[in-house]
Amino acid sequence: MECIVHRVPMRDPGDVSAILRLIDEGSIAPREIVAILGKTEGNGCVNDFTRGYATMALSAALAKHLGIAAEEVPSRVAIVMSGGTEGGLSPHFLVFGVREYRHSRGQRKSLAIGTASTPVLLPEQIGRMPQVELTAAAVRAAIERAAIADDADVHWVQIKCPLLTSERIADAAASGGAATATDNTYASMALSRAASALGVALALGEVDREALDDREIGRELGLWSPRASASAGVELLHSEIIVLGNSAAWSGDNVIAHGVMRDAIDLPSVIGVLSALEITISGQLDEAEASCILAVLAKAEASRSGTIRGARHVMWDDSDIQASRHARALVGGVLAGIIGRTDLFVSGGAEHQGPDGGGPIAVIARRPR
């Protein structure tokens, strides 16, 4: 099997024409598509409906091609929309497909993919241990489906998780059940990402089960996974998981590597990931080098310390622009400078995803033949 990756632009969150063009041109068959990541141009926060809009547009378009109802599409294709293209980030889709490999299989490991999803999460589970454990179980299932034998070959676990809206919080309160972990909707996004990331860390053995309880979630930032990327959204009630790694069970020229940015401007770590892919850097990548890079996935976050290398930033104190929006713009600039492209999947809110103020980064590249 081979995992193929296409990066295509969107003109607006309802525009899936570039994906349809891939299908029309024969670059990918509808049934080959296993996952679609999208970077949409909403605020990436609570009332970002560009994620739901894109999901609806994708579902409607793929339903016709797959001959199923639009409602059934998300159970066939993992759809993960991440809002926020601040700074110069360019709205785009990453389309992951799986096909039988046409060439003889080599010895080396190639890009592998597996998907899974959790059950629907109850409002009171969000941001708490049940979410951590349900996520961990789904991650293990996805790794198995990806046929990645060695956990060290897992390089990226993308999770789309639910959040709490005012309505969901009120419903939970009205039902007389347990209180939700927070009654602040924006804060619920952070808690849901935090629990998701710890679920990844638990699944990959990066943290001990004993070290975890509700109180650590979103607070004990010393616990983190260097391979988790979680994004919360109003458009789903369960979590979607996509595992990416390398595996000898897969073929093709594509390969993935990852690293961890220690802070938001940690360019050396980015260069390290490119080096691991045998891309050498002297200044900005030239066009030929850049064209080998199929996808850049990164998390961005404002450091809780309120500083970057000792200099104050304003991200947390700005009541006009949310911290995660500042952070995406910043990390997008750092990455665009070295890579020379702006269609980068930079997602906000990196709780337990790398050290405070930093975050994981992965690059998928086509190996030179």
Name the minimum Å distance from CB 334 to a second copy. 4
From residue 175 to residue 214, what is the string marking binding to a second copy with x (rule CB under 8 A)?
--------xxxxx---------------------------
Q: Is 211 or 321 the residue whose CB approaches a second copy more closely?
A: 321
What DSSP line would sit under 160-212, residue for residue? EEE---HHHHHHHHHTT-PPPS-S-HHHHHHHHHHHHHHHHHHHTTSS-GGG-
Q: Is 34 or 327 the residue whose CB approaches a second copy more closely?
A: 327
Choosing from 2, 48, 206, 253, the residue that interacts with a second copy (CB under 8 A) is 48
Under the binding rule (CB under 8 A), the answer on residue 49 touching a second copy is yes
Name the minimum Å distance from CB 291 to a second copy. 12
Under the binding rule (CB under 8 A), the answer on residue 268 touching a second copy is yes
Return all residues near 2 (Cβ < 8 A) that are at least 6 apart.
98, 99, 100, 101, 110, 250, 251, 252, 254
From residue 299 to residue 338, what is the string marking binding to a second copy with x (rule CB under 8 A)?
-----xxx-xx-xxxxxxxxxxxx--xxx-xxxxxxxxxx
Under the binding rule (CB under 8 A), the answer on residue 17 touching a second copy is no
Is 160 an annotated catalytic residue?
A: yes
Q: Are strands 240-247 and 2-9 parallel, antiparallel or unpaired?
A: unpaired
Residue type, 175: S
Is 231 an annotated catalytic residue?
A: yes
Q: Is 177 or 291 the residue whose CB approaches a second copy more closely?
A: 291
Name the minimum Å distance from CB 123 to a second copy. 14
> Radius of gyration over alpha carbons of the chain, in Å?
19
Residue 341: strand, helix, or coil: coil
User: Strand 293-300's sheet: what is its strand order?
Assistant: 254-261, 359-366, 293-300, 345-348
Under the binding rule (CB under 8 A), the answer on residue 236 touching a second copy is no
Structure tokens at 175: 């039902």
- Which among 297, 133, 132 has a CA at the least distance from the CA of 218? 132
Burial class (CB in 10 A: 0-12, 13-18, 19+), 232: buried
Residue range at the interface with a second copy (CB under 8 A); choices 46-54, 124-132, 198-206, 225-233: 46-54
What is the torsional sign of CA 135, 244, 234, 95?
Answer: negative
Choosing from 166, 208, 222, 291, the residue that interacts with a second copy (CB under 8 A) is 166
Q: Is 12 or 144 the residue whose CB approaches a second copy more closely?
A: 12
Name the minimum Å distance from CB 212 to a second copy. 20
Positions in 146-165 near a second copy (CB under 8 A): 165
Choosing from 17, 90, 220, 289, the residue that interacts with a second copy (CB under 8 A) is 90
Structure tokens at 137: 């179980």
Structure tokens at 124: 């009171």
Q: Which residue has the tokens 């970002």?
A: 48
Q: Is 27 or 284 the residue whose CB approaches a second copy more closely?
A: 284
Q: Is 19 or 334 the residue whose CB approaches a second copy more closely?
A: 334
What residues act catalytically? 160, 231
